[in-house]
C-alpha cells in the first residue's frame, strides 16, 4: 500500500516536505497531490506527483473538480492506505473521501 501526500503550494507544501523524514512507518511508495507551480515542480522533482489547478480561497467550483480527481483515485481497490495533508482547501477535496474509503487520514 502507498501514501498520498496532499498539500497546497507555499508554506503548506514546504512544511509537509520537511516533515516527511520524521514521519515514521510510511512506505517509500508515495504520491504527492498539489498545485502545479514552480515551487512544486522544483521541490518534488523526481517524485510521483498529481498536479491540480490552483484553487483560491472559497473557490468551491475548483475544489469540486479536485474532489472528482480524488474520487477517481479512491475508486474500487485503491492503493492508498494513508493520506497526510498540511492543508489547505485541497485537503477538503481528498481527506473526507479517503477516510470513507478506509484510508488512515492525518491533517497536520
- pLDDT per residue rounded down to tens, the chain (108 residues): 799 999 999 999 999 999 999 998 887 899 999 999 999 999 999 999 999 999 888 889 999 999 999 999 999 889 999 999 998 889 999 999 999 999 999 999
First to last CA, the chain: 21
pTM to 2 decimal places: 0.93
**Angle (nearest 5°) at CA 91 between 23 and 2:** 45
Please choose, from the candidates 83, 9, 67, the residue with its C-alpha nearest in 3D space to the C-alpha of residue 39.
9
Chain CA centroid to CA 52, Å: 10
Sheet holding 2-7, edge to edge: 49-52, 30-35, 2-7, 80-87, 104-107
Amino acid at each position: 500500500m502507498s501514501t498520498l501526500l496532499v498539500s497546497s503550494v507555499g508554506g503548506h507544501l514546504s512544511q509537509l516536505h520537511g516533515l516527511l523524514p520524521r514521519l515514521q512507518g510510511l512506505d517509500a511508495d508515495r504520491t504527492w497531490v498539489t498545485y502545479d507551480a514552480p515551487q512544486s515542480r522544483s521541490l518534488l522533482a523526481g517524485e510521483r506527483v498529481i498536479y491540480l489547478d490552483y484553487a483560491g480561497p472559497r473557490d468551491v467550483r475548483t475544489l469540486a473538480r479536485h474532489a472528482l480527481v480524488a474520487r477517481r483515485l479512491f475508486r474500487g481497490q485503491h492503493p492508498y492506505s494513508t493520506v497526510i495533508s498540511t492543508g489547505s482547501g485541497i485537503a477538503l477535496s481528498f481527506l473526507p473521501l479517503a477516510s470513507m474509503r478506509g484510508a488512515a487520514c492525518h491533517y497536520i
